[in-house]
């Protein structure tokens, strides 16, 4: 299959996605639209973690921290000044945050950039650490962000959080950013830089011996991952219209890690599939926490049951299917073409 055909196929697929989004906007009820939105945001988050962990082999548990930075920067930029004045009741908001305003696209970009900046800043000391030390240090970073955001009341409104964030992040914006992040990350991974990352993941010492500047590659990968985590956080904030520091706890990182592990480490297709499956399951399984009445029987809902099921699923996958639900498969038009041709030959 030549490059031209693939471009046409890509554009067709995008057109179909655009049509679907357009249809979903009017044709589906609010709840389903919300689930579709969450899927898009989770794809962005899962891809960013997969880039850091699945492709570069850096075990990072700081995603919630980057998301918090992205969400707060974006929210402060899109909430109107008058509303900010009213909301900050503990301590008035300080200049220049009180008057800052930006269009949504720029605000999301700024959220991502701020997260990337802090990602690079933290990467200087922590990337010297290997394996699980890196995990615990990034986890510590996320905790520090959370504590700091709770305490810098004049900027973040402290524990009260920000409410009434304009909900610009509809389907159109979310899927725009989703497609953009898939495109950039796939491009990045199929370039020579992507090969460097995989080399570092498989054997860092060997990669260094081949002349790869491992520190720079790792820092760039971490920065790009943090950028998209920030973008995901910004979209998430605008999507659910209210954020507070407590929201960005370890549980959030756990959910994204679960998507990446279930989808398959080091697989873009896996992350997308994982995000779709886990998001839908997370919503669908809410029924176990509600009280259900079937005829005369009343089955009481059990709070916490959802996470029990999910942690068991994660354990099962890591113990028995380490390559994820689709087994490390990567989608390509060539494969699809071959599959179709074989089907044709069978007939």
Site residues (vs other proteins, CB under 8 A) = 59, 125-126, 128-133, 135-137, 139-141, 143-144, 147-148, 150-151, 205, 250, 254, 257, 261, 302-305, 307-308, 310-312, 314-315, 318-319, 322
- Quick one: which of 139, 123, 156 has its CA closest to 65? 139
CA dihedral 129, 135, 138, 143 (to 10 degrees): -140
Residue closer to other proteins (CB basis): 250 or 333: 250
CB of 257 to other proteins, least distance (A): 7
Residue closer to other proteins (CB basis): 82 or 209: 209
CB of 250 to other proteins, least distance (A): 8
Asked if residue 169 lies in contact with residue 235, where contact means CB atoms within 8 angstroms, the answer is yes
**Whole-number Å distance between alpha carbons of 132 and 138:** 10
Residue closer to other proteins (CB basis): 22 or 322: 322
Residue closer to other proteins (CB basis): 84 or 201: 201
CB of 21 to other proteins, least distance (A): 33
Residue closer to other proteins (CB basis): 195 or 311: 311
CB of 251 to other proteins, least distance (A): 8
CB of 316 to other proteins, least distance (A): 9
- Alpha carbon 241 to chain centroid distance? 17
Helix (H, G, I), strand (E, B) or coil at 163: coil
CB of 246 to other proteins, least distance (A): 12
- Burial string for 259-273 (b: 16+ CB within 10 Å, else e) reads bbbbbbbbbbbbbbb
Provide CB contacts within 8 A for 167, sequence distance 6+.
Answer: 238, 239, 241
Residue closer to other proteins (CB basis): 133 or 284: 133
CB of 52 to other proteins, least distance (A): 12
299 bridge partner residues: 292
Residue closer to other proteins (CB basis): 19 or 210: 210
Q: How is residue 129 annotated by DSSP?
A: S
Max Cα–Cα distance, the chain, nearest Å: 73
Asked if residue 71 lies in contact with residue 149, where contact means CB atoms within 8 angstroms, the answer is no
């Amino acid at each position: 299959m030549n490059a031209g055909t693939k471009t046409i196929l890509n554009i067709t697929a995008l057109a179909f996605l655009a049509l679907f989004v357009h249809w979903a906007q009017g044709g589906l009820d609010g709840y389903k639209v919300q689930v579709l939105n969450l899927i898009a945001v989770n794809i962005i988050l899962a891809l960013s973690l997969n880039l850091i962990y699945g492709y570069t082999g850096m075990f990072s548990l700081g995603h919630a921290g980057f998301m918090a930075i992205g969400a707060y920067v974006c929210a402060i930029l899109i909430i109107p000044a008058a509303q900010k004045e009213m909301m900050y009741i503990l301590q008035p908001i300080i200049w220049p945050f009180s008057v800052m305003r930006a269009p949504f696209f720029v605000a999301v970009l700024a959220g991502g950039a701020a997260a990337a900046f802090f990602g690079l800043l933290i990467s200087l000391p922590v990337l010297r650490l290997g394996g699980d030390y890196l995990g615990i240090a990034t986890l510590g970073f996320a905790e520090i962000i959370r504590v700091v955001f709770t305490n810098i009341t004049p900027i973040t409104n402290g524990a009260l959080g920000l409410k009434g964030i304009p909900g610009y992040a509809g389907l159109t914006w979310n899927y725009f950013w989703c497609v953009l992040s898939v495109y950039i990350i796939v491009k990045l991974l199929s370039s020579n830089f992507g090969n460097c990352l995989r080399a570092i993941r498989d054997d860092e010492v060997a990669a260094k011996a081949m002349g790869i500047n491992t520190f720079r590659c790792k820092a760039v990968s971490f920065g790009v991952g943090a950028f998209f985590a920030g973008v995901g956080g910004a979209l998430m904030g605008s999507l659910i219209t209210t954020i507070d520091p407590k929201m960005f706890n370890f549980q959030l990182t756990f959910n994204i890690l679960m998507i990446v592990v279930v989808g398959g480490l080091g697989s873009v297709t896996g992350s997308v599939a994982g995000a779709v499956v886990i998001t839908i399951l997370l919503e669908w399984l809410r029924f176990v926490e509600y009280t259900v009445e079937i005829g005369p029987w009343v089955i009481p809902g059990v709070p916490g049951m959802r996470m029990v099921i999910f942690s068991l699923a994660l354990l099962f996958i890591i113990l028995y299917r380490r390559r994820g639900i689709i087994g490390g498969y990567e989608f390509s038009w060539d494969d699809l073409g071959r599959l179709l041709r074989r089907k044709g030959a069978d007939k």
